[in-house]
Structure 1
């Protein structure tokens, strides 16, 4: 007999029991990553990310987890529903709070519901959706959202009654390349020359790059990375970012083997940094920043170094982060990402279902057009 409960702090759950369900192949649902978000203050009621993690137990033993939050805004989600919130407001309704199953500030596709081996996720989904709907009503929440599940998971949520939404991202796939030049060999001649020129320009500016595992980086290097992180957010958003230095220090201590720090130097001076996370078969690009602007350095630090790392380590896939059509001409292929949604108000739910069907049609057409922009030779 399965029992369901909610907890308001992941620290209430034993790390070993949580990680036995999530595994380490996808870094962002690990206990250490989520616990660092809470301990550092990034995820709490005051920031609009109030933990409400769903736990499944059988005979007192933890057999399932779903990272879950009560949200009072839509920041840090990367599945944009501001128009839905505005529509609620126009009709005098409250869109917030809402329940969101996601990895905060991380638009990286991966498992959301993590179960003990042998449990049938598809059979459980209808019951879980009912329980999430009940919890939403108890909390006075307008809706339930599952953000960036993998496609099989999203399809299962959809079959259980949650509308499916799609969006575009641009990912790199390892076709068994032996080297970066081997990868470039799939490009058309002109595109190959353009990319080589970008890399050559970086070197001609006196820049050199290195890649470090989390525990290979010094305190000084981590401090420099955090300075870059804050600088980027200040430029883009006018604030210092969602995460503080304590968060990065914590995960560098608890999961260093899954962190890849790329540093750029001009001589002995560090000038830029990019942080990636590594799963069992994928690399995930997350944060970037620089203290000075250099031609093409962003592409080198955030894309080409990651591709080289994947080839060297035999990783099959590189997710460099959300948005950025400029990735296409550098060999990142347009793909679909997924989310699932349930709204308590039937009228709004019907309207949004119609919107999602039309949006899906446009996105499918966009992906076809975007694929034509890829740099590969016609035979590819």
Structure 2
């Protein structure tokens, strides 16, 4: 028997619905770590989360996010999956390529549809090439090559893998994809016993500012509480939907998630959620939605129907820190953008994406741009970190 005869048979399939695969099969690739009884590293690529997006109509026909999930089999056994979508626009991605689209179309081309390996509406870093343990290299290569081949066969302009891990970004670059870095603001737990422990790590001025903000926020005339699991009731989603609509209409024109998503989330995702509710006279007036990972809290949405000073900072940032410390979590990821997070203990961190562009000339131009952008992002992170609220060491304070 030759070596060629021994080579495994690899096949890549495209699925237009998660109903074509079982939850157990998908999650065996997406979150094999739950075999120990714990949480997934993050909930966003789990079957239950992606299925909630699909079943609620948040993705699918008319949304600009058409599911084209990839699955890889080796000798007939599933070893890898990826959440792939055909995109009709660049909304809900948080890694911005609008300028690329405009340039492509000014040159007479058609940028959309494109392909995107991503979690819709979710700027949270996590694995995008979801492989069973021991199949990392084979699965990543097959998913990447399969996605590029699918893009080429369908004559689409480009393929994008957003908020992937750094390891995936470096591996993808070795395979010829374009690597991009951007930034977010994350809070990191340095073993703090409580919120006051965190405050002691800050400069005196920043410490006083945060204490004042918390006093002002908590004096809004009501109560603030964080609910998880069975503590969350259906009426809480009624309230949060009003908050979400308000924020969505101001930021995006129309909310990305449908009302049905929150109904499904109540049934299948409650244990993955930490919902901060601010209530006055028993009526919710503001709230923040967080998702719980194994070691990270992910801040996702904020909204209100009444404005109160500093309540946004309290509900989104300080309550998240309180929760993370109490749960022994290492990090809070506060979502996209927002340099105002810096003064509240959230420091800039790199995020990663990969890109394949069908036109070589355009790809070369983007590659040059990305090289300059990476240098600018690194410099920006260095400068912003230096302006962070944390106490300087004696050596750093010396001229």
SS of structure 1 residue aligned to 2:90:
coil
The alpha-carbon deviation at position 54 of structure 1 amounts to: 0.7
CA contact (8 A) 2:72 2:139 kept: no
| Residue 20 of structure 1: aligned partner | 28
Q: CA deviation at 1:126?
A: 4.4
User: Is the contact made by 1:252 and 1:259 (CA closer than 8 Å) also made in structure 2?
Assistant: no
Secondary structure at 2:44's aligned position in 1? helix
Counterparts of 2:245 and 2:158, CA distance in 1: 32
Q: Which of 6, 10, 16 is 1:2 aligned to?
A: 10
| Post-superposition CA distance 1:237-279 (Å, at most 9, x none) | 332x011121112122112211110000123221101110001
Runs of 4+ with deviation above 6 angstroms: none
Structure-1 residue corresponding to 2:347: 333
The two structures, once aligned, show a CA RMSD in angstroms of: 1.3
Instruction: Write the distance in 2 (CA, Å) between the matches of 1:69 and 1:16.
Output: 21
| 1: CA distance, partners of 2:81 / 2:237 | 31
Query: Alignment length, in residue pairs?
Result: 378
Q: Contact 1:264–1:271 at 8 Å: present in 2 too? A: yes
Asked if 1 retains the 8 angstrom alpha-carbon contact of 2:131 and 2:140, the reply is no
1:291 alignment counterpart: 305
Q: String of CA shifts for 1:42-96, please: whole Å, max 9, x gaps.
A: 1113211111111011343321101100111111111100110011111101111
Q: Distance in 2 between matches of 1:297 and 1:308?
A: 15
**Structure 2: gaps spanning 5 or more residues:** 1-8, 32-39
Task: State the shift of 1:26 in Å.
Answer: 1.2
The aligned counterpart of 1:105 is 121
- 145, 152, 162: which is aligned to 2:167? 152
Structure 2: distance between partners of 1:220 and 1:15:
28
Query: What SS class does the counterpart of residue 160 from structure 2 fall into?
Result: strand
User: How far apart, CA to CA, are the structure 1 residues paired with 2:257 and 2:139?
Assistant: 34
Per the alignment, in what secondary structure is the counterpart of residue 29 of structure 1?
coil
CA distance in 2, matches of 1:49, 1:83: 20
SS of residue in 1 equivalent to 2:62: helix
Taking structure 1 as reference, are residues 165 and 253 closer, same or farther at Cα in structure 2, changes over 3 Å only? same
Aligned-residue offset at 1:127? 4.6
* Counterpart-to-counterpart distance in 2, 1:126 and 1:302: 38
1:173 aligns with 2:181: no
1:312 and 2:326 aligned:
yes
Mapped partners of 2:29, 2:77: distance in 1? 11
Normalising by the residue count of structure 2, what TM-score does the alignment of the two structures yield?
0.92
Equivalent residue number for residue 223 of structure 1: 238
Instruction: Give the distance between the partners of 1:286 and 1:350, measured in 2 at CA.
Output: 35
Q: Which residue among 137, 144, 147 is the counterpart of 2:152?
A: 137
Equivalent in the alignment of 2:3? none
Cα shift at 1:125: 4.0
Per-residue CA shift, 1:25-52, capped at 9, x if unaligned? 2100010110111111111132111111
Q: CA deviation at 1:120?
A: 3.5
Residue matched to 1:275? 289
Deviation at 1:4, TM superposition (A): 1.1
Equivalent residue number for residue 376 of structure 2: 362
CA deviation after TM superposition for structure 1 residue 117, in Å? 0.9
CA distance in 2, matches of 1:237, 1:46: 16
Contact 1:215–1:252 (CA under 8 A) maintained in structure 2? no
Structure 1: gaps (5+ residues): none
